[in-house]
Amino acid sequence: MKKAPSKTTHLDALRDLLREAGLRSTAPRVAVLQHFQTRRRPLSHGELVEALADREFDAATLYRNLIDLESAGLVSRVNVGDNVWRFELRDQDTETQSEHPHFVCVECGEITCLAQVRVKLTPAPGSLKSVVNHVSEILLKGQCMRCA
């Protein structure tokens, strides 16, 4: 029977991930990565500060770490149209790493990652060529299942 990975092993893996990205392994960075691993949607800086309040990290420290983690390619920054940056953990498997669309419910504001959805843009029939060369972000809006 295979043993579940210990908490220490998990923390060591996060520390190694930080070092491989060229960052120092600090308590706030490890805590941010740990928290993102448990979430299925992008979080704002404010949501992260609130979620990690019991750890007593300074809000400015958490923000600087989010920016550092984004620069290192460990998290992505997403704007869902409300001028609030949200962050999410990037898939570290470079074979499958790709951007994915997000869904925002226009009723309740819930944001959902659509990691299993791929959107393909193709020129309309009769058009000479597409004006789109590269898409870096797709945002879908509508009603979620709870609000429908």
The CATH architecture annotation of domain 5-147 reads: Orthogonal Bundle (1.10)
Sequence length of the chain is 148
- Looking at residue 16, its pLDDT comes to 95
Element (H, E) at 78: strand 75-79
89-145 residue pLDDT tens = 887 654 444 567 888 888 988 888 787 777 777 777 777 666 666 666 777 889 989
- Looking at residue 94, its pLDDT comes to 46
- Looking at residue 98, its pLDDT comes to 55
- Looking at residue 101, its pLDDT comes to 81
11-41 residue pLDDT tens = 999 999 999 999 999 999 999 999 999 887 8
Sheet with 102-105: strands ordered across: 111-113, 102-105, 139-142
Q: Residue 109 has which token pair?
A: 């504001």
